[in-house]
Structure 1
Amino acid sequence: MYLVDANILIEAKNRYYAFDIAPGFWEWLDRVHRQGVTCSIDSVRDELLRGDDELTGWATAHREFFRPLDQRTTTHFGALTAWVTAQGYR
């Protein structure tokens, strides 16, 4: 599964995948979400809802795309952080 952060959605909307230019991207995102391939988290939704644009509307209409963080999820943060740190990302 791929976890989509706010920047992915914001950049998609602002650049090459704007709703009026590439509606197929947003349809694809819906489809792969229904297939269990991708999702995001509630804090990303909350960030998007602070806006006032098409992405705000999309986030409002696609609440199921955003999952809550629970205790089971947070137990994986240490391993994920260690993996990312080991990759040498800057």
Structure 2
Amino acid sequence: MAKYLLDSNVFIQAHRMYYPFDVVPSFWNKILELSNDGIIISIDKVKKELCETSNPDQLSVWCENELVSSFFVDSTSCVDIYAQLANWAHSSTHFLQSAKDEFLATDLADPWLISYAKKHDLTIVTHEISQPQRRNRIKIPEPCIHFGVKYLSPIEMFREIGENF
């Protein structure tokens, strides 16, 4: 069973900044290996963020063609947890209303990622870091901390599972 749930930014930042396909193919091979071994997964809303674009790029094509269809799981199983997350966001006096609205936008993967991780006891892998004083955006770490969901960076995940590439 999967242990880690990947955020969109893991793929996007790897592709654009740290591990381009033509320079570090071993990173992408490791993602495929971990996916095929059932160690990592993501959700349907992440797939939508990565692949449903009017201008497909190398990353969207790779996700469509290389990752098995079961990698991106259906997130509707966690609607009950999503409702709790929505109530938490709405009742917060810390965040601006615009931050709440953005966080709970229908197709944004973040709240669904947190909900899925909470429901299925998974660790979220993301590049986002906690910024508890920030009011204008709800970042993944803040609700994770509130709901007791573990999160870590991609490098921390690789270290935790003893992988290298």
Regarding TM over 0.5, the answer is yes
* Number of the residue aligned with 2:155: none
**Which residue identity is paired with 2:148?**
W
**Which residue identity is paired with 1:39?**
I
1:65 aligns with 2:71: yes
Q: Which has the larger radius of gyration?
A: 2
**Which residue identity is paired with 2:61?**
G
- Structure 2 alignment gaps of length 5 or more: 82-114, 119-143, 150-165
The alignment-based identity, stated in percent, is: 33
Q: Provide the C-alpha distance between the structure 2 equivalents of 1:21 and 1:2, rounded to a whole number of angstroms.
A: 25
Q: Structure 1, residues 31-78: CA drift from partner, whole Å, max 9, x if none?
A: 01111110111111111112521101011112332111132x445539
Q: Provide the C-alpha distance between the structure 2 equivalents of 1:16 and 1:79, rounded to a whole number of angstroms.
A: 26
Does the CA contact (< 8 Å) of 2:50 and 2:59 recur in 1? yes
Give the helix-richer structure, 1 or 2. Answer: 1
- Structure 1 alignment gaps of length 5 or more: 85-90
Query: Could you tell me the TM-score, scaled by structure 1's length?
Result: 0.78
Query: Could you tell me the TM-score, scaled by structure 2's length?
Result: 0.45
Q: Provide the C-alpha distance between the structure 1 equivalents of 2:46 and 2:116, rounded to a whole number of angstroms.
A: 20
Does the CA contact (< 8 Å) of 2:5 and 2:117 recur in 1? no
